[in-house]
Structure 1
């Protein structure tokens, strides 16, 4: 009987993913640059952006990449295109301010203090009552997620990206524990706002107050089913965040140790 010859196995080809077109790598950069100009006030509502040809030359990108950047900004409510007028900066009321990208662009430079107050007003309206609801509606897995998030903050600190991610997880789990579909729909925006403002504070002026103890007060009240205690602790946490953010934007003048001389 003839011996069976083993089949030759061909080495598997590893298919290399085609490189992304240069335009796809650049349109996000252009959108970010224009977005920062808009939210910082360098471009005002009603301003007309440069034409497609001139803008593509200015940013050294293809017209396709520039058009895609404008589509990104339009989806975030920052611009609108009108026939015979061109691309125009939209009124602020149309901006999607809780979009994570828009929030990030706001805090790149010197954020408008009015926008900071408005952001924390929203948090003050939403989060304390979300904590109140969470105290009576939370599930065991949601409590575990909140605890894990705070354990991560205790381990890594707010000054690290990992620690801020853990803080974001705590707040996301808390909002979801409210078991209110409309509050839950705000999770990504509120969580992004918390992460971005925390990073801003740590970068500009590490917060002099340790926020972890107040986070723990919120958690303990929710764990104990203390609805009013959870509400009040979260209100204190949001108020503390506003004070620290404003101090990071406008730090108080350093005290002079020199005595005035006559």
Structure 2
């Protein structure tokens, strides 16, 4: 038993160090500190800079290569790939973007929601079964309960459950998987759009209208309801305080939020 515990501790320590290297290197790439199409510093230099062994660095490089962020070739070394190669649905990459490029992630999420959720709502209004309807109304009830409590954590969690239930109710398995892949981005967006006092309570009627439209098999009403939810979230995000890059973007400095 003691030997087993010791082995578990060693594995956990190794995994923690490995993830730390992946995280640090991934953040540097997203921040642009390691430029695309340029080789990484030589292995010994980069390993020393990160405070890890060359073996740990090589393992991290393999992970980031699988995410489309790095490419290693004989004689030319390891290069950062252009962003067009990156797996932007990868959970780690979404988390790094949330920290390093919050406004960009919010903009991309809003545009994707506009492209996907209205059609998902239309499909759900024609395909949702009793279990899907129940899941949506249970999530809505959890949102209403959480809205009466301090803090945003429970409300955001319930809001995410509501939108996952909507995508599942569409009957399209790819849409359901997309929603789960985007949980980091959606959580980020919901948390920012719910900051302003009164925003949580104001969002509840439109969510109820959406659930009732799906339940009543009214595709056009369902699509209109989700579009109203998205537009309201965009307005709240544009006014959100304290998020680096968001207010400047919303005011016309650089890229703008939708």
Change in 2 beyond 3 A, CA 1:37/1:222: same
Normalising by structure 2, we get a TM-score of 0.81
CA displacement, residues 31-84 of structure 1 (integer Å, 9 cap, x when unaligned):
222222222333332232223222221111222222222222222222222222
1:234 aligns with 2:226: yes
Partner of 2:62: 71
Distance 2:178 2:193 in 1: 22
* Larger Rg over CA atoms: 1
Distance 1:83 1:13 in 2: 44
> Among 112, 118, 126, which residue is 2:116 paired with?
126
> Among 79, 83, 102, which residue is 1:88 paired with?
79
SS at 1:55 equivalent = helix
Q: How does 1:155-166 map to 2 (within 5 A)?
A: 155-157=145-147, 159-166=151-158
Partner of 1:216: 208
Task: Please report how far the alpha carbon of residue 119 of structure 1 lies from its aligned counterpart in structure 2 after TM superposition.
Answer: 2.7
Distance 2:234 2:170 in 1: 23
Distance 1:37 1:174 in 2: 36
1:18 aligns with 2:8: yes
Task: Please report how far the alpha carbon of residue 208 of structure 1 lies from its aligned counterpart in structure 2 after TM superposition.
Answer: 5.6
Task: Please report how far the alpha carbon of residue 156 of structure 1 lies from its aligned counterpart in structure 2 after TM superposition.
Answer: 2.4
Q: How does 1:161-240 map to 2 (within 5 A)?
A: 161-201=153-193, 205-206=195-196, 209-210=199-200, 211-240=203-232
Distance 1:118 1:222 in 2: 26
Unmatched 5+ stretches in structure 2: 241-245, 252-258
Which moved further from structure 2: 35-44 or 220-229? 35-44
Distance 1:201 1:51 in 2: 43
1:49 aligns with 2:46: no
Partner of 1:5: none
Unmatched 5+ stretches in structure 1: 1-11, 254-262
Task: Please report how far the alpha carbon of residue 131 of structure 1 lies from its aligned counterpart in structure 2 after TM superposition.
Answer: 0.7
> Among 130, 139, 144, which residue is 1:140 paired with?
130
1:108 aligns with 2:105: no
Q: 1 or 2, which has the higher helix percentage?
A: 2
Contact 1:159/1:199 (8 A) holds in 2: no
Change in 2 beyond 3 A, CA 1:238/1:83: farther
Q: How many residues align?
A: 239
The runs of at least 4 consecutive aligned structure 1 residues that moved more than 6 Å come to none
Distance 1:231 1:250 in 2: 29
CA displacement, residues 150-208 of structure 1 (integer Å, 9 cap, x when unaligned):
22222224943333222222111111111113323312123332112223456xx5476
Contact 1:128/1:231 (8 A) holds in 2: yes
CA displacement, residues 74-108 of structure 1 (integer Å, 9 cap, x when unaligned):
22222222222222111111111122221121111
Change in 2 beyond 3 A, CA 1:239/1:83: farther
Distance 1:149 1:73 in 2: 36
SS at 1:185 equivalent = helix
